[in-house]
């Protein structure tokens, strides 16, 4: 915005905001009301007069007056302000300098107002020519009041015409000097002083993600900061054991699918999940039914990308949340059951998958172990899902089956009326599960007590030998 020669003035109710170029190279600018020069803005006026009550000039970039300025009100300077010739700071005038700002005047012959460094780093007020010593020194004479101090707060006065000014001119940290550090920027066309020496941090942040290397599990990846592993991962993780006859009780040996799992989860500096890696191991496939196995995770399906599996794992479609399928037919996955003593055994089958997450949940919401593994009886159909007690079925479960057989049908999902589950999860990887057709309630005498109490009683039912019948357990360890 450019103006021709003449008088340029704003009225008392005006509010002018400049974010570009404001030039009045041959005009006097009488500033009334509010004038704001935003970051990136540049103002150049021939002469400045600010004499209307309530007038405020705020400068966040460059403001240059080519001749003189008369200041009767408030100037808030947060960057570079230059009056090339004379500055008159009248009785109501006040110049506030913030956080390393710079204000320069060619000369000062009236200084009835005051100048204050209001915050942050020390600002610099520089007078390159003469100052009216008599008017300014009045404040420094004996008997002058504290309110007569002309320079206040976090600023330096750099006055080339004087060696030492009276101490009464300064208060609240203001001082005479020319060494304040001013750093050159696009809005600050000069520099001053000696920039502080930048000492390399004791704890560097190599990927500049805001987390120092000592605390960052991924020093060179700014998308990941913290690694969290699931409980007991170092010892193989946890065990989930299933009965495949839901909603019937079947032989209730809970060995039809026995699987261990562990997770490694990566979060970003805000502790939001950005990467998930799961490892599952199929130990046993007791019974003649074909069973599939998967995991429902509390992450929206549309937030996941770059899914990768090592043994045929895949993302099942049709779900709002992520559902990972490990296998569809347990009889193909493992030839031998691993539940009948004296019969051939199959080696455990490993499954491993990972994927990226965009705008994922926080770790607290996602959890490191609170996931939802499940099986389905593929001999009957995909709808015959079996989950742990209380866990939500997927959208593909046949909800008409709830309340049939011995399923409670109300309250907690996947329990009988007396609280017995079709699947259990244990915080160990070496759970000794029952042999084929041996009820778990017979193999472990306190199992029913634990299950029917909702897991509050007999919590050591599975690892206290006093509660176990070794003749009903598969390869029960001997002392």
182-228 per-position pLDDT tens digit: 989 999 999 998 776 777 778 899 999 999 998 999 999 999 999 99
Q: What is the pLDDT of residue 11?
A: 74
Q: Which residues contact 306 (CB under 8 A, 6 or more apart)?
A: 355, 356
Tell me: do 85 and 149 sit in the same domain: yes
Q: What is the pLDDT of residue 194?
A: 79
Task: Decide which of 140, 158, 176 is a domain's last residue.
Answer: 176
Q: What is the mean pLDDT of residues 148-177?
A: 86
The answer to whether position 16 is within a domain reads yes
The answer to whether position 1 is within a domain reads no
Tell me: do 310 and 432 sit in the same domain: yes
Tell me: do 170 and 233 sit in the same domain: no
The answer to whether position 210 is within a domain reads no
CA dist., res. 132 & res. 139, Å (int): 12
Tell me: do 136 and 253 sit in the same domain: no
Q: Which residues pair with 56 in a beta bridge?
A: 34, 74
Cα 318 to Cα 10, 103, 125, 395, 401, distances in angstroms: 64, 65, 68, 8, 20
Q: Looking at the predicted structure, is the pLDDT value of residue 130 above 90?
A: no
Q: What is the mean pLDDT of residues 446-451?
A: 96
The answer to whether position 200 is within a domain reads no
Cβ atoms 273, 366 nearer than 8 A: yes
Q: What is the mean pLDDT of residues 75-86?
A: 96
DSSP code for 446? T
How many domains does one find in the chain?
2
Q: Looking at the predicted structure, is the pLDDT value of residue 102 above 70?
A: yes
Tell me: do 251 and 378 sit in the same domain: yes
Q: Residue 54 belongs to what domain range?
A: 6-176
Tell me: do 172 and 316 sit in the same domain: no
The answer to whether position 29 is within a domain reads yes
Q: Looking at the predicted structure, is the pLDDT value of residue 326 above 50?
A: yes
Q: Looking at the predicted structure, is the pLDDT value of residue 96 above 90?
A: yes
Q: What is the pLDDT of residue 478?
A: 43
CA dist., res. 411 & res. 257, Å (int): 25
Task: Decide which of 159, 176, 193 is a domain's last residue.
Answer: 176
- Residue 383: phi, psi to the nearest 5? -75, -15
Q: Looking at the predicted structure, is the pLDDT value of residue 432 above 80?
A: yes
The answer to whether position 195 is within a domain reads no
Range with the poorest average pLDDT among 6-15, 82-91, 326-335: 6-15
User: Which own/partner contact pairs does 305-308 have at CB distance under 8 Å and 24+ positions apart?
Assistant: 305/355, 305/356, 305/358, 306/355, 306/356, 307/353, 307/354, 307/355, 308/353, 308/354, 308/355
The answer to whether position 237 is within a domain reads yes
Full strand arrangement of the beta sheet holding 15-18? 15-18, 34-37, 56-59, 74-77, 94-98, 114-119, 151-153, 170-171
The answer to whether position 186 is within a domain reads no
With 0-12 / 13-18 / 19 or more C-beta atoms within 10 angstroms meaning exposed / middle / buried, residue 186 is exposed
Task: Decide which of 176, 195, 211 is a domain's last residue.
Answer: 176
Tell me: do 260 and 122 sit in the same domain: no
Strands in 246-309 per DSSP E: 257-267, 273-284, 291-300, 304-309
Cα 28 to Cα 10, 48, 51, 307, 308, distances in angstroms: 11, 6, 13, 67, 70
- The share of the chain scoring above pLDDT 90, in percent, equals 75
Tell me: do 169 and 71 sit in the same domain: yes
Tell me: do 125 and 44 sit in the same domain: yes
| Strand 94-98, strand 114-119: pairing | parallel
Range with the poorest average pLDDT among 177-181, 301-305, 335-339, 433-437: 177-181
Tell me: do 432 and 293 sit in the same domain: yes
Tell me: do 240 and 123 sit in the same domain: no
Q: Which pLDDT band, with edges at 50, 70 and 90, does 251 fall under?
A: very high
Q: What is the pLDDT of residue 2?
A: 62
Tell me: do 145 and 239 sit in the same domain: no
Q: What is the mean pLDDT of residues 162-185?
A: 87
Q: What is the pLDDT of residue 6?
A: 59
Q: What is the pLDDT of residue 5?
A: 52
Q: What is the mean pLDDT of residues 410-419?
A: 89
Residue listed under structure tokens 């995991």? 295
CA dist., res. 166 & res. 131, Å (int): 14
Give the pTM. Answer: 0.61
């Amino acid at each position: 915005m450019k103006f021709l020669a003449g008088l340029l003035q704003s009225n008392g109710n005006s509010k002018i905001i400049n974010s570009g170029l404001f030039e009045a190279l041959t005009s006097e600018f009488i500033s009334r009301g509010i004038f704001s020069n935003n970051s990136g803005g540049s103002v150049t006026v021939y002469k400045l007069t600010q004499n209307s009550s309530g007038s405020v000039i705020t400068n966040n970039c460059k403001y240059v007056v080519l001749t003189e300025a008369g200041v009767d009100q408030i100037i808030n300077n947060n960057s570079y302000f230059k009056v090339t010739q004379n500055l008159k700071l009248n009785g109501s005038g006040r110049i506030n300098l913030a956080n390393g700002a710079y204000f320069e005047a060619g000369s000062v012959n009236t200084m009835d107002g005051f100048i204050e460094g209001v915050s942050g780093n020390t600002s610099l007020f520089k007078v390159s020519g003469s100052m009216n010593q008599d008017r300014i020194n009045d404040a420094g004479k004996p008997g002058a009041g504290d309110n007569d101090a002309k320079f206040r707060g976090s600023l330096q006065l750099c006055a080339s015409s004087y060696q030492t000014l009276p101490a009464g001119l300064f208060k609240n940290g203001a001082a005479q000097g020319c060494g304040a550090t001013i750093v050159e920027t696009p809005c600050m066309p000069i520099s001053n002083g000696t920039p502080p020496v930048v000492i390399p941090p004791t704890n560097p942040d190599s990927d500049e993600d805001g987390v120092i290397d000592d605390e960052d599990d991924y020093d060179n990846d700014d998308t990941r900061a913290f690694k969290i592993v699931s409980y007991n991962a170092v010892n193989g993780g946890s065990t989930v054991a299933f009965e495949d006859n839901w909603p019937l009780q079947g032989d209730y040996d809970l060995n039809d699918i026995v699987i261990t799992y562990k997770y490694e989860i990566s979060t970003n500096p805000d502790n939001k999940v950005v990467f998930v890696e799961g490892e599952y191991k199929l130990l046993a496939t007791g019974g003649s039914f074909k069973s599939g196995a998967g995991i429902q995770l509390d992450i929206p399906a549309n937030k996941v990308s770059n899914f990768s599996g090592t043994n045929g794992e895949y993302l099942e479609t049709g779900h709002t949340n992520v559902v990972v399928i490990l296998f569809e037919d347990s009889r193909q996955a493992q030839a031998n059951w691993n539940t009948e003593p004296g019969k051939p055994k199959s080696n455990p089958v490993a499954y491993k998958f990972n994927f990226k997450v965009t705008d994922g949940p926080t770790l607290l919401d996602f959890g490191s172990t609170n996931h939802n593994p499940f099986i389905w009886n593929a001999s009957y159909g995909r709808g015959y899902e079996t989950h742990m007690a209380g866990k939500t079925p997927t959208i593909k479960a046949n909800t008409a089956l709830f309340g049939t057989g011995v399923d409670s049908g109300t309250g907690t999902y996947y329990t009988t009326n007396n609280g017995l589950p079709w699947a259990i999860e244990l915080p160990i990887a070496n759970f000794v599960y029952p042999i084929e057709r041996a009820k778990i309630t017979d193999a472990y005498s306190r199992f029913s007590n634990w299950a029917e109490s909702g897991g509050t009683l007999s919590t050591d039912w599975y690892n206290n030998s006093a509660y176990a019948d070794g003749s009903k357990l598969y390869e029960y360890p001997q002392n």
